[in-house]
Amino acid sequence: MKEIVIISGKGGTGKTSLTASFAMLAGQTAVIADCDVDAADMHLLLKPERIFEEDFYSGVAAVIDQDKCIQCGKCQEICRFNAIDNSTGQYLVSNLNCEGCGYCGHVCPVGAIEMIEQNVGKCYISKTKADNKMVHAGLKIGADNSGKLVAKVKHEAKASAEKDGKEYIIVDGSPGIGCPVVSSLSGADFVVFVTEPTVSGIHDLERVYQLVKKFQIPSGCIINKADLNEKVSKDIEKFLADNEIIHLTNLPYDESFTTAMTKGQTIVEDKTSPITASIEQCWQDLKIILEK
């Protein structure tokens, strides 16, 4: 079983559209994981039907028992996150600011502070129109710990792939370089970067590559909208060659990605599009690379 994680650093490069395309092409051989839990969009293309869902709890937040509170203010004094407010006359915790460190509970002289586990979202297992299972999640608004929810999604995807003897786990990774993407990358066999030839595309690719390098995961890259700026495209190709990143393919700047999305489809469902052939070839190449 091989785990492929698709990431981009920068948003809007076509990462999710390409991940969903690979999911269509892989069909029954793969389990799909949507680890972009902040802005999970893959379900809009893969039309999953839920077969299982569960609440996900992670982290804690402080709650002050007003009957016990003696208004000494110690909790507010030590809180480094400005999470305790007494402007109303009562000491109250702002859930949005509370980091869940629990320090206040340790200093409260009357034991009025309890740390309550937080329901941060839901995790789903579904069946997609590509006839594969997909693990995805919905993070509650403003919830912390998206990194832990990402870890949960990956864990469930792995368990499902092992149980059903699937060959691949295809993961739509998170943006950025922080904790969600670190969670997305852990345990991956191969990383696919999706980038675009723009000053921000190459900048973000270089940063997220530094992170992947720390994990020592082999990687390849798809340059989307490659004809938008030939100079930057060449710069990216040089960067790939210098860092032993496999240059998987170039795709053109083409609005048919958006047209397909508007119809709730992946681009590879349009058999007449030349892009479909390129993505199919790319998936075949990826499978060969993963054999090695």
Partner 1 sequence: MTTSIVCLIERLKMKIAIASGKGGTGKTTVATNLAKYLSENRKVVLVDLDVEEPNSGLFLNGSLMNQKEMFKKIPNWESENCTLCGKCQSVCNFNAIMKLGENIMVFPELCHSCYACSELCPTQSLPMIPMKMGMLTEYKVEQLGFVGSKLDIGQEQAVPLIAQTLDYVDEMYSDDYLKLYDAPPGTSCPVIEATKDADFIFLVTEPTPFGLHDMKLAVETMRELKKPMAVIINRYGIGDAEVEAYCKVEGIDIIANFPNQRYIAELYSQGKLIYPHVPEFKAELLKAADYCKHLVKEN
| Closest separation in Å from C-beta 29 to partner 1 | 26
Helix (H, G, I), strand (E, B) or coil at 181: helix
- 81 touches partner 1 (CB under 8 A): yes
- 48 touches partner 1 (CB under 8 A): no
Tell me, what amino acid is at 182?
A: V
| Closest separation in Å from C-beta 6 to partner 1 | 14
d(CA 266, CA 277): 13
Among 232, 245, 282, 286, binds partner 1 (CB under 8 A): 232
- 198 touches partner 1 (CB under 8 A): yes
| Closest separation in Å from C-beta 181 to partner 1 | 8
For 103-131, letters b (16+ CB in 10 Å) and e give: ebbeebeeebbebeebebbbbbbbebbbe
- Residue 123 Cα to chain centre, angstroms: 13
Among 31, 48, 154, 176, binds partner 1 (CB under 8 A): 176
Distances (CA, A) of 104 to 71, 131, 179: 13, 50, 25
d(CA 134, CA 122): 14
Among 60, 130, 171, 185, binds partner 1 (CB under 8 A): 60
Distances (CA, A) of 284 to 64, 248, 279: 57, 11, 9
d(CA 80, CA 95): 14
Comparison of 63 and 228: residue with beta carbon closer to partner 1:
228
- 207 touches partner 1 (CB under 8 A): yes
Q: What tokens appear for 19 in the block?
A: 């991940």
d(CA 207, CA 255): 28
Comparison of 37 and 161: residue with beta carbon closer to partner 1:
37
Comparison of 100 and 220: residue with beta carbon closer to partner 1:
100
- Give the binding site for partner 1 (CB under 8 A): 9-13, 16, 38-39, 41, 44, 60, 78, 80-81, 96, 99-103, 106-107, 115, 139, 141-144, 146-147, 175-180, 182, 196-201, 203-204, 207-208, 210-211, 214, 225, 228-229, 232, 253, 255, 258, 261-262, 264
